Amino acid sequence: MSLILAYLPHLLEGLLVTLEVALGSFAIGLVIAIAAVFGAEFGNAPVRWCVSTYVTIIRGLPELLVIFLVFYGGTVLLSRMFGAYVEVDALTAGICALSFVSGAYLTEILRGALHTIPPGQAEAAKSLGLGTGATFRHVILPQMFSYALPGLGNQWLIILKESALVSIVGLEELMRKGVVAAGATQSPMTFYLIVAGLYVAITSVSMAIFAYGNRRLTFGR
């Protein structure tokens, strides 16, 4: 029991890293998605093709494989590009991998939400004299996020759980801390149950927050 208590702070440290990775990946994934949606809607044919290929490929590959590719391949690529080693710590690499994956799914969520907006909205904005950029920023984007909220919440939960995969390449997040503790104490069941419990806890809290946000932020539905 005392041994389990000794490792508990480690698990909580890992939980913090998990949240960092998930938040970072979600944020950057969202940025990628917004850019991709912009490209898919307003870009020329090659841009549209790039976005479509990116989304199709990522959604067809196992997340673990993409993480392996970004982890083991990314540093090689970066170093070759810059000539010298570019310092990329495990956290950054983990965030890069996961945001690359989530960006594809977020693109589809945002695109679906975008197409739910009645076309009259854009037409009304144009008739009021708003340019494309202003229309996108003040009329389309807020509505897009409102419709996308359930999908975004769903993707956040997925990213939280996917972050456990980054433990396989050594990032010291919650799952990894659990594996180390289990190995050192030969009590895998105890620690993996605690780790599972912690994940369920953060997904539950997330779902509660999203339910609250959904009620407060969505309109007109």
Partner 1 sequence: MKILAIASVLAAITAGSAGAEPLRIGTSADFPPWGYTDTAGDIVGFDREVGDEICKRIGADCAWTNQSFDGLLASLQVGKFDLVISGLSITAERAKQVDFSKAYADAPYHIATIKGGALAATKTRAELEAALEGKAIGVQTGSTHEAVANTYFKNADVRLYERNEQIADDLAAGRIDAGLLEQSVWEELMKAREGKLELAGPMLTSADYAEFGNGQGIALKQGREDLKARVDKAIVDMISDGTIGKISTKFFGYDLSYKG
Partner 2 sequence: MSYEILLQSIPIVYAGLKLTLIVTLAGFVLGQALALPLGLALTARSPLLRWPVATHTFLLRGSPLLVQLFILYYGLAQFDAVRASAIWPIIREPVNCAIIAIGLNSAAYVAVIIAGGLKRLPPGQAEACISLGLSRFSRMRDVLLPQVYRAILPSIGNELILVLKASSLASAVTVMEMSGAARAFTAKTYAPFEVFIVAGLLYLAIGFLFGIAFRFVERRIPGVAAIGKSGRAAQPRPQALGASS
Residue indicated by tokens 């199709």: 56
List 30, 32, 34, 55, residue binding partner 2 (CB under 8 A):
55
Q: Which does 10 bind (CB under 5 to 8 A by kind): partner 2, partner 1, none?
A: partner 1
Q: Which two tokens stand for residue 182?
A: 């289990």
Other beta carbons within 10 angstroms of residue 220's beta carbon come to 6
Please report which residue ranges of 43-171 form alpha helices under DSSP H.
45-60, 63-68, 74-82, 90-116, 119-127, 132-135, 141-162
Alpha-carbon distance of 181 to 193, in angstroms, equals 12
- Of residues 71 and 105, the one with the C-beta less far from partner 1: 71
- Contact stretch for partner 1 (CB under 8 A) within 30-38, 126-134, 156-164, 166-174: 166-174
List 45, 46, 85, 221, residue binding partner 1 (CB under 8 A):
85
Alpha-carbon distance of 197 to 90, in angstroms, equals 25
Residues that bind partner 2 (CB under 8 A): 55-57, 59-65, 68-69, 72-73, 76-77, 105, 108, 112, 150, 153-155, 157-158, 161-165, 167-168, 175, 178-179, 182, 186-189, 192-193, 195-196, 199-200, 203-204, 207, 210-211
